[in-house]
Amino acid sequence: MKTVQVIGGGLAGLTLGLRLRRLGVPVELFEAGTYPRHRVCGEYLSGQGHNFLKTLLPEPLLARCGARTSRTLRIFCGSQALPLQELSRPALCLSRYRLDELLAREFCSAGGRLYVQTRQTPSNKEGWVTASGRQPSIRQEGWRWIGLKAHAFDVSVGEDLEMHLTPQGYVGLCAVEENRVNVCGLFRTREAVPGLSEHWREWLGGSPGSTLFERLRSARWDENSFSSISAISLHPRRAAEQEGIRVGDAVTMIPPLTGNGMSMAVEGAFLAADPLAGWSSGKMSWQECSRRISRSLDGIFSSRLAWARRLQQTVLHPLGQPLAWNLSLLFPSLLRLFFRQTR
């Protein structure tokens, strides 16, 4: 069988690599960084991808790593809260520090060849798949988007996922393993923000009087877990309009406030695995394999991305946010509608 070469060992690349190994396909995976490592991510996986992931990482294994599940979501704005929402599917809560490391280990145990600290130039050549994460863009409709995350201890959240809307964006709180709470925010600015490595606590901590501020008042931060990204592009892209075979954020990034990007990375990897196995065994040409993958990705994700874009543009807009808040108070089913449509 022919070898599939994967560039990027984040969630999409590792899931694809492991799934291909389980199908008996030889795989080489090139990752620019190492494991374990912290990443900017809300660290709750919500959607169909959770079920796919469990076929690769059985629940007892995830539980041994400290994974938790969450069934409820609370949304706050300042000190106000919307009614508690039951999630239609439970979300998996595990740090990317652990999850990516676990996938990398399973990939190697399954016979995959992993090259860490090895940056490869993305290639459209036959046999190569790009899973190298988001395509950066400095500004998006005049705004710059920055993502910050750090783990904290002594934060009083229960099993609920919490989303705190702020004037510049939102901050999510999600309890993960080892009594850690992942604090992750996405913020909009007009100008570049220097000195984030010193000021991140102020960005993530909320303003005095808000529930977020209260939650984090006595937090002990794990300084080593801090990470940040900028140049986030939230403009949806179609797979068919891009060159080569791509999975995960390398195709397109769904707005993070949906909490569905990890699921899309896993779902996309599963969609891509069967055609790639067909190519590897000589049953399908590379062109056909590529066409099938982009058609399936666009077919499954287009509507979700369109809903997510509308949601992002409203909720994270200075004028849209109060409007969305008041409408959600009047019509609680609106939240459930958006949640369903972005999965």
Separation between Cα atoms, residue 107 and residue 130, nearest integer Å: 17
Among the residue ranges 29-37, 219-227, 303-311, 321-329, the one whose residues contact ligand FAD (CB under 6 A): 29-37
Among the residue ranges 9-17, 196-204, 277-285, 321-329, the one whose residues contact ligand FAD (CB under 6 A): 9-17
Among the residue ranges 2-10, 74-82, 206-214, 219-227, the one whose residues contact ligand FAD (CB under 6 A): 2-10
Smallest distance, ligand FAD to C-beta of residue 2, A = 21
Q: Is 92 in the site for ligand FAD (CB under 6 A)?
A: no
Q: Is 13 in the site for ligand FAD (CB under 6 A)?
A: yes
Q: Is 20 helix (H, G, I), strand (E, B) or coil?
A: helix
For ligand FAD, the binding residue among 248, 289, 297, 339 (CB under 6 A) is 248
For ligand FAD, the binding residue among 265, 276, 293, 297 (CB under 6 A) is 265
Smallest distance, ligand FAD to C-beta of residue 276, A = 16
Residue nearest to ligand FAD (CB): 10
Within residues 171-230, the interface with ligand FAD by CB under 6 A covers: 172, 184, 186, 229
Smallest distance, ligand FAD to C-beta of residue 221, A = 17
Separation between Cα atoms, residue 110 and residue 18, nearest integer Å: 7
Q: Given the structure tokens 């809260």, which residue do they identify?
A: 81
Separation between Cα atoms, residue 152 and residue 180, nearest integer Å: 6
DSSP symbols for 260-297: -HHHHHHHHHHHHHHHHHHHHTTSS-HHHHHHHHHHHH
Written as six digits, the tokens of 91 are 């979300």
Q: Is 132 in the site for ligand FAD (CB under 6 A)?
A: yes
Q: Is 119 in the site for ligand FAD (CB under 6 A)?
A: yes
Closest to ligand FAD by CB, 112 vs 261, is: 261
For ligand FAD, the binding residue among 4, 11, 311, 324 (CB under 6 A) is 11
Q: Is 147 in the site for ligand FAD (CB under 6 A)?
A: yes
187-210: buried (b, 16+ CB within 10 Å) or exposed (e) per residue?
Answer: bbeeeebeebeeebbebbbbeeeb
Q: Is 32 in the site for ligand FAD (CB under 6 A)?
A: yes
DSSP 8-state assignment for residue 140: B
For ligand FAD, the binding residue among 5, 9, 98, 152 (CB under 6 A) is 9
**Residue 118 — φ and ψ, nearest 5°?**
-130, 105
What is the sign of the dihedral through the CA atoms of 307, 310, 313 and 319?
negative
Q: Give the count of alpha carbons within 13 A of 292, CB side only.
A: 16
Closest to ligand FAD by CB, 7 vs 181, is: 7
- For residue 49, is it left (φ>0), alpha (ψ between -120 and 50) or beta? alpha
Q: Is 296 in the site for ligand FAD (CB under 6 A)?
A: no
Closest to ligand FAD by CB, 106 vs 284, is: 106
- Which residues 6+ apart lie within 8 Å of 45 measured at CB? 53, 91, 92, 93, 94, 259, 262, 263, 266
Which residues are at the interface with ligand FAD (CB under 6 A)?
7-13, 30-33, 39-45, 119-120, 131-133, 147, 172, 184, 186, 229, 232, 248-250, 253, 256, 259-263, 265
